[in-house]
């Protein structure tokens, strides 16, 4: 993994300690780590009642996604879209929660993916 990707993976692990202590932090492929993060986030949303969502975990997770969207890097954008955000377009609940937390470019990317999926 390149140092820039390692730095981003380390940032993810630091804001989501529950994710860091899982087996995912042993992977060296950045896209795989981000895909597993997308699955982790989907499971976090789907596994809790709407009013009981762990807002701190969600907030930190979506802050990380919003941070990734500010990188203006084509590779990071592709990872963001297809390794994380696309996973969150499968269920009404993940779409609603994602739209609540995503901002700016991340929200634009997400809405485009949802539109394409529903077309």
HSE-up of residue 47 (Cα within 13 Å, Cβ side): 9
Q: In the predicted model, what is the mean pLDDT of residues 13-25? A: 69
Q: What percent of the chain has pLDDT over 90?
A: 55
- pLDDT for position 8: 86
Provide the number of structural domains found in the chain. Answer: 1
Q: Which of 11-15, 51-55, 59-63 has the highest average model confidence (pLDDT)?
A: 59-63
- pLDDT for position 55: 83
pLDDT tens-digit readout, 35-57 = 989 999 999 999 865 555 578 88
pLDDT tens-digit readout, 92-103 = 999 999 999 999
| Nearest alpha-carbon partner for 99 in 114, 84, 82 | 114
Q: How far is CA 69 from CA 35, 74, 101, 105, in A?
A: 15, 10, 13, 6
Domain range holding 13?
A: 3-118
């Amino acid at each position: 993994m390149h140092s820039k990707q390692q730095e981003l993976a380390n940032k993810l692990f630091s804001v989501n300690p529950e994710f860091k202590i899982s087996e995912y932090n042993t992977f060296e492929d950045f896209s795989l780590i981000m895909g597993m993060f997308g699955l982790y986030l989907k499971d976090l949303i789907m596994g809790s009642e709407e009013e009981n969502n762990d807002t701190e975990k969600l907030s930190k997770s979506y802050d990380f996604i919003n941070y990734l969207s500010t990188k203006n890097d084509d590779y990071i954008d592709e990872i963001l879209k297809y390794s994380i955000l696309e996973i969150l377009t499968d269920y009404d609940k993940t779409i609603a929660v994602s739209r609540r937390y995503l901002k700016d470019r991340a929200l634009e990317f997400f809405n485009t993916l949802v539109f394409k999926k529903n077309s």
